Amino acid sequence: MSFDPFGDFATEGYLRNVEKEKDLDIVKRLEHASFTTGLDEAFTALGRSRQFSYSDVLQTHGILFNAVYPWAGQDRLSIAPTLSVRKGPVIFANPSEIQPAVEFALRKAQEKDYLRAHPGEIMGYLAFGHPFLDGNVDWSATDKDAYLDALTKEIEAPSRGHLDDYLGKFIREPIAQEELAAQVINAPGLDGRTPAGDENEVIGNVDAPEVKAQYEAMLLKRGKKH
């Protein structure tokens, strides 16, 4: 069954996309086109910020995906505040806890030495926060299966080096802002295709006892970290 957090897939299509399209492969191609054409604008907007904030994350998502989703730029707390969401074994942060997790990652990311030493830890916190209902974009020069395996381990047990160890060999020197969009567009994996089983899944209401129990177990495994 397709991911249907709004409960109106039959009439509004996948995640209320502007075309009301139900075919996930088509929707992902629309996402891909919107993402790639919006990169220059997104990087330009980010270049104006002296220090990245949660509002920058929301604005960037809006720029990259407003051609596909009317709600682009709004996080899960705004549009699905009661839903618990997972992908595979990973339960993402409850809507009310998204912003703290992302802000923690942004603070650490702006410590240049820390970012260089712990890129996987920071990416793990961003992935755990998972601010938006549409899927995270996977982009890297890595093997996707190996990367996602390391990312899953990082989300389940943060700050233990799972993703740091994997990403360490891919760290490069910074590149000029005007080259960023081309670098991302040319990265392997950004083809708009969706592997089977790659969708999010709604577990249920965040206040439901069985959902709360699963979430608490996830947090306990994470060491109660963001």
Q: Degrees (nearest 5) of the Cα angle 124, 167, 183? A: 95
Selection from 125, 133, 130, 162 nearest residue 146 by Cα: 162
133 class by beta-carbon count within 10 Å (0-12 exposed, 13-18 middle, 19+ buried): buried
Q: Are 88 and 135 in contact (CB under 8 A)?
A: no
- Is 196 a residue whose pLDDT tops 70? no
Q: Are 106 and 53 in contact (CB under 8 A)?
A: yes
Domains belonging to the chain, first-starting first, are 9-195+202-221 (1.10.3290.10)
So what's the pLDDT on residue 200?
87
A 10 A CB-CB count for 114 gives 14
Q: Is 74 helix (H, G, I), strand (E, B) or coil?
A: coil
pLDDT in tens, 36-69: 999 999 999 999 988 999 999 999 999 999 999 9
Quick one: pLDDT band at residue 188, thresholds 50, 70, 90?
low
Amino acid at 96: S
The H-assigned helical ranges of 48-109 are: 54-65, 76-79, 98-109
Residues paired with 84 in a beta bridge: 204
The whole-chain average pLDDT of the chain stands at 88
For 134-150, what is the mean pLDDT?
Answer: 69
So what's the pLDDT on residue 103?
97
CA distance 175 to 9: 41
So what's the pLDDT on residue 40?
93
Residues 8, 9, 10, 11, CA torsion sign = positive
CA distance 171 to 140: 11
Q: Degrees (nearest 5) of the Cα angle 52, 159, 208? A: 85
For 109-121, what is the mean pLDDT?
Answer: 92
Quick one: pLDDT band at residue 100, thresholds 50, 70, 90?
very high
What DSSP string describes 167-226?
A: HGGG------HHHHHHHHHTSTT-SS---TT-S-EEEEETTSHHHHHHHHHHHHHTTS--
